[in-house]
Amino acid sequence: MSTAEHYRSNLRDTLFNLFEFLEIQATTLGRGPFTALDEGATRESLRSLEELARTRLAPSFAEADRVPLALDREGNVTLPPALKRSLSAFFESGFHRLEQPEHLGGYGAPPTVWAAGFEFIAGAHASLGFYLFGGIAARVIDRLGTEAQRRLFPPLMIDRPWGATMVLTEPDAGSDVGAGTTSAKKVGDEWHLAGVKRFITNGDFDAVENIVHLVLARPEGAPGGTKGLSLFIVPKFWVNPDGTLGERNGVYCTNLEKKMGIKASATCEMAFGDGRPARGLLLGEAHDGIRQMFHVIEQARMGVGLKSMATLSTAYRNALAYANERVQGPDLLRAADKASPRVPIVRHPDVRRMLMAQKAHAEGMRALCLFTAHVQDRVELEGGHGADAARADDLLNDLLLPLVKGYCSEKAYELLALSLQCYGGSGYCQDYPIEQYVRDQKIDSLYEGTTHIQSLDLIFRKIARDGGATLRGLLGRVQATLDAQEGGDELAGERAALGRALGEVRGMFMALMGKLGESLYHAGFQGNRVLLALAELVVGWLLVRHAARAIERRAARPEDRAFYDGKVASARYFCKNVLPGLALARELVEASDLDLMELPVEAFLGAWPGPERPARASAGAGFCVS
Q: Identify the active-site residue in 50, 257, 410, 448.
A: 448
Please state the three-class secondary structure of 36-87 as a single string: CCCHHHHHHHHHHHHHHHHHHHHHHHHHHHHCCCEECCCCCEECCHHHHHHH
Which of 84-98, 155-169, 174-188, 201-215 comes out lowest in average pLDDT?
A: 174-188
% of the chain surpassing 70 pLDDT: 96
> Residue 448 catalytic?
yes
Q: Which amino acid is at 50?
A: E
Please tell me whether residue 134 adopts helix, strand or coil conformation.
Answer: helix
Confidence of residue 626 (pLDDT cuts 50, 70, 90): low
Looking at residue 606, what DSSP letter applies? S
Confidence of residue 547 (pLDDT cuts 50, 70, 90): very high
**Angstrom distance (rounded) from CA 248 to CA 237:** 5
Q: What is the pLDDT of residue 569?
A: 98
Asked if residue 168 has pLDDT above 90, the reply is: yes
Which of 335-344, 391-400, 424-433, 608-617 comes out lowest in average pLDDT?
A: 608-617
Q: What is the pLDDT of residue 173?
A: 75
Quick: pLDDT tens for 467-511. 999 999 999 999 999 999 999 999 999 999 999 999 999 999 999
Q: What is the pLDDT of residue 618?
A: 57
Q: Which amino acid is at 126?
A: A
Is residue 397 within 8 Å of residue 372, measured between CB atoms? yes
**Angstrom distance (rounded) from CA 45 to CA 537:** 33
Mean pLDDT of 447-458: 95
Quick: pLDDT tens for 200-247. 999 999 999 999 999 999 999 999 999 999 999 999 999 999 999 999
Asked if residue 624 has pLDDT above 90, the reply is: no
Mean pLDDT of 190-194: 98
Is residue 135 within 8 Å of residue 62, measured between CB atoms? no
99 closest CA partner among 151, 140, 145: 140
Confidence of residue 622 (pLDDT cuts 50, 70, 90): low
E-assigned strands of 348-453?
A: none
Confidence of residue 555 (pLDDT cuts 50, 70, 90): confident
Radius of gyration of the chain (CA): 25
CA atoms within a 13 Å half-sphere pointing along the CA-CB vector of 429: 7
**Angstrom distance (rounded) from CA 341 to CA 280:** 71
Q: Residue 130, class by beta-carbon neighbours within 10 Å (0-12 exposed, 13-18 middle, 19+ buried)?
A: buried
**Angstrom distance (rounded) from CA 237 to CA 376:** 34
Confidence of residue 285 (pLDDT cuts 50, 70, 90): confident
Quick: pLDDT tens for 55-95. 999 999 999 999 999 999 999 999 999 999 999 999 999 99
471 closest CA partner among 522, 498, 510, 525: 510
Give, rounded to a whole angstrom, the gap between the first and last alpha carbons of the chain: 33
Please tell me whether residue 272 adopts helix, strand or coil conformation.
Answer: strand
**Angstrom distance (rounded) from CA 284 to CA 290:** 13
Mean pLDDT of 319-336: 94
Mean pLDDT of 309-315: 98
Asked if residue 461 has pLDDT above 70, the reply is: yes
Provide the mean pLDDT of the chain.
Answer: 94
> Each residue of 401-417: b (16+ CB within 10 Å) or e?
bbbbbbbbbbbbbebbe
Asked if residue 1 has pLDDT above 60, the reply is: no
Q: What is the pLDDT of residue 469?
A: 96
The CA-atom distances, in angstroms, between 143 and each of 46, 213, 385 are: 26, 16, 11
